[in-house]
């Protein structure tokens, strides 16, 4: 078995430049991790970066490329400079409360050579985990680790080999469901995804529905996700399921209007490439408790 210290960790952090205090606290918690130091790449999304420690790699983009686009830039820099076997993505207002998190990741990826992605547990300042931050269906116990079919975008680790094999995050999504698109491709390529309750990112409790762009992009990207990755037979089932679910929730009228506008945009505007998953992957996801129509 390979010594876990051989696994180089690179951290990608996106920022809009409006959280310098939180960003500094996050970088300090990354630097405090046990084991070999990680390479930290901070990507400024169309904004000048605040002063950063000298060991941090600053990448200032001329415009905001969205979450998948920015992460692709950071991951590409790590790949081109051979600085990461594991790419860790963290929200800029998060914090690693434990110093052994990266060592847990090294152990997990080293033990299972088919482990492609680890999803962290996100907690608020009181230590609680919101239901939407547990990537399982049903009344999921946030303290139970195990295999899943997707992961949390703001706190995860990906084996660099997986990115090289299945390709980058989908730039056109800009925000919402880019992690599901990537997860489905990784599962279809035979990789495992695990949710780890002991890999924790502390993050302020914020509602995802506070912005109209959330509704619009969620509706549009659901359609793009289905059109890109699902077998043709499952596309109408998936979209009907999510349209019905959305209508049953207590969303504000302005939010529903934005969602439906995005939904019809997704039907009208293509988002290639179309590479549907294999039926054996559909069955694998079903056995894991989340068939790709839910």
For residue 106, pLDDT beyond 70: yes
Considering the domain architecture, whether residues 192 and 239 belong to the same structural domain is answered as no
Domain boundary among 183, 206, 229: 206
Could you give the number of structural domains in the chain? 2
pLDDT confidence of residue 166: 98
> Is residue 292 in some structural domain?
no
Claim to verify: residue 27 and residue 156 sit in the same structural domain: yes
Residue 122: which pLDDT band, with cuts at 50, 70 and 90?
very high
pLDDT at 139: 57
- Same-domain check for residues 200 and 226: no
Assess if residue 293 is contained within a domain. no
pLDDT category of residue 129 using cuts at 50, 70 and 90: confident
pLDDT for the residue 1: 37
- At which of 206, 230, 254 does a domain end? 206
Burial class (CB in 10 A: 0-12, 13-18, 19+), 240: exposed
Residue 28, domain extent: 4-206
CATH value at residue 83: 3.90.550.10
Pairwise pLDDT comparison (186 vs 130), residue with the higher score: 186
pLDDT value at residue 152:
93
The arithmetic mean of pLDDT across residues 191-195, rounded, is 98
121 has pLDDT over 60: yes
pLDDT band per the 50, 70, 90 thresholds, residue 207: low
Q: Please tell me whether residues 247 and 157 are part of one structural domain.
A: no
In a domain, 107, yes or no: yes
Average pLDDT of the chain, as a whole number? 93
Give the end of a domain, one of 206, 223, 247.
206
pLDDT classification of 185: cutoffs 50, 70, 90: very high
Query: Does 232 reside within a domain?
Result: yes
pLDDT at 120: 97
Predicted confidence at residue 4, as pLDDT, reads: 46
Task: Return the minimum-mean-pLDDT range out of 23-37, 85-99, 120-134, 230-244.
Answer: 120-134
120 & 219 share domain? no
């Amino acid at each position: 078995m390979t010594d876990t210290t051989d696994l180089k960790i690179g951290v990608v952090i996106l920022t809009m430049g409006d959280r310098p205090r939180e960003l500094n606290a996050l970088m300090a918690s990354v630097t405090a991790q046990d084991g070999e130091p990680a390479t930290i790449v901070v990507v400024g999304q169309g904004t000048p970066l605040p002063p950063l420690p000298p060991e941090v790699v600053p990448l200032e983009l001329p415009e905001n490329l969205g979450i998948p686009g920015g992460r692709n830039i950071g991951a590409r820099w790590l790949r081109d400079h051979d600085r990461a076997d594991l790419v860790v993505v963290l929200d800029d207002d998060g914090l690693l409360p434990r110093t052994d998190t990266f060592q847990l990741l090294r152990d997990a990826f080293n033990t299972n050579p088919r482990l492609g992605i680890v999803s962290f547990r996100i907690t608020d300042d009181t230590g609680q985990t919101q239901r939407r931050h547990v990537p399982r269906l049903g009344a999921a116990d946030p303290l139970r680790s195990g295999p899943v079919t997707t992961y949390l975008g703001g706190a995860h680790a990906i084996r660099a080999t997986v990115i090289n094999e299945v390709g980058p995050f989908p730039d056109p999504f800009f925000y919402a469901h880019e992690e599901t698109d990537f997860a489905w491709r990784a599962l279809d390529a035979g990789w495992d995804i695990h949710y780890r309750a002991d890999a924790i990112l502390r993050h302020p409790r914020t509602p995802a529905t506070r912005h109209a762009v959330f509704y619009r992009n969620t509706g549009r990207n659901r359609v793009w996700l289905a059109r890109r990755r699902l077998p043709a037979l499952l596309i109408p089932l998936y979209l009907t399921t999510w349209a019905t679910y959305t209508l049953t929730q207590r969303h504000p009228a302005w939010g529903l209007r934005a969602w439906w506008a995005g939904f019809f945009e997704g039907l009208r505007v293509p988002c290639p490439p179309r590479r549907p998953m294999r039926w054996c992957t559909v069955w694998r996801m079903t056995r894991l408790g989340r068939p790709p129509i839910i």
